[in-house]
Amino acid sequence: MPLNLPNLRRLFVEARTEAEESAYSRNAFYNLVLFMSSVAAFSLIAQRMNAQKAPIKL
């Protein structure tokens, strides 16, 4: 017997105007870009710090 649960995504979309939904989506995208940029920056910093500590092999 299937449960008749409401579609939560549809409820959230219906509760917001088109402009609000667009603002939320844009904000989420910028947060994702900021997160990915910070991960890349920390990765580059860690690589450079590790390269400086590594002994030179001849």
> pLDDT digits over 3-47, tens only?
777 788 788 778 888 899 899 999 999 999 999 999 999 999 999
Q: How many helices (H) and strands (E) does the chain have?
A: 2, 0
Residue 58 lies in a domain: no
Q: Can you give the residue range of the structural domain that contains 40?
A: 8-53
How many domains are contained in the chain?
1
Is 15 a member of any domain? yes
The answer to whether residue 31 sits within a structural domain is yes
What pTM, to 2 d.p., does this model score? 0.63
Q: Is residue 23 part of a domain?
A: yes
**Is 22 within a domain?**
yes
End-to-end CA distance of the chain: 71
Query: What is the pLDDT, as a whole number, of residue 51?
Result: 83
Max distance between CA atoms of the chain, in angstroms, equals 71
pLDDT-based confidence at residue 2 (cuts at 50, 70, 90): low
pLDDT at residue 32, rounded to an integer = 98
Q: What is the Cα–Cα distance from 48 to 51, expressed in whole angstroms?
A: 5
Residue whose structure tokens are 């579609």: 7
CB under 8 Å to 21, separation ≥6 — which residues?
13
Residue 3 lies in a domain: no
Structural domain includes residue 2: no
Q: Does residue 1 lie within any of the structural domains?
A: no
Q: In the predicted model, is pLDDT for residue 58 greater than 70? A: no
